[in-house]
Amino acid sequence: MTQNLDSVYEQIASLKSDLADLRNTYKGVSKSYLTAMSSLTGLTINSSEAAKRAALSTEQSRLAAFSAMTAAKEASSHPALLTVIELAVSASVAAALAAVESAAAATAASAAASAAVAHQAEESLLKASAEAATASKLAAESAAEAVKMSLEAKKMVPGGDE
């Protein structure tokens, strides 16, 4: 009987040891998960913020392209201002290129936010990803409009529509 009890006590001791190992493993996994979630949340929020800033930059570039196009139109009625027209067109083209680059940045940031959400669907991450996607869409629309105005401004230069 004593041998049977000793065997039971050994098994209980082994189970206690296994349980302690499982607890330690769980604590390590839990800590790693929390660290990963924190990093993922930070990445998503930063990506969303980057997309929003890129969209604002694109909108500013669109406004610059519009101003340059307007300047080119105004100057086109005065042949002596050909240099001003050419500079305005150059500014319009540069603003359009900046708009396209900002739209690309917004799209990349939006994709990063979406990728982060794909790994861990959490409400705050989903919201940040949706905001990044919206900002990316607005950036693309502004970039397209800036390019259109740049092309219109280019028509103001003699021989510029070729």
Query: Residue 162 has what pLDDT?
Result: 54
Give yes or no for residue 137 having a pLDDT over 60. yes
Q: What is the pLDDT of residue 158?
A: 66
Buried b (16+ CB within 10 A) or exposed e, 41-72: bebbbebbbbbbbbbbbbbbbbbbbbbbbebb
Query: Whole-angstrom Cα distance, residue 28 to residue 143?
Result: 47
Neighbours of 105 (CB within 10 A): 19
* pLDDT band of 3, cuts 50, 70, 90: confident
If you search the block for the tokens 């905001």, which residue do you land on? 131
pLDDT digits (tens, 9 = 90+) for 86-136: 888 888 788 878 877 777 777 777 777 677 666 666 666 677 777 777 777
- 121 phi/psi in degrees, rounded to 5: -80, 105
**Angstrom distance (rounded) from CA 161 to CA 14:** 85
| Interior angle at CA 44, CA 38 and CA 48, nearest 5 | 145
Determine the Cα–Cα distance for residues 58 and 134; give it in Å rounded to an integer.
13
Give the Å distances, CA to CA, from 36 to 39, 46, 116, 119. 5, 15, 11, 10
3-state secondary structure of 162: coil
Q: Which amino acid, one-letter code, is at 148?
A: K
Q: What is the pLDDT of residues 5-62, one digit of tens each?
A: 778 778 888 888 877 877 888 777 778 777 767 777 777 777 777 777 777 887 887 8
- Mean pLDDT, the chain, as a whole number? 76
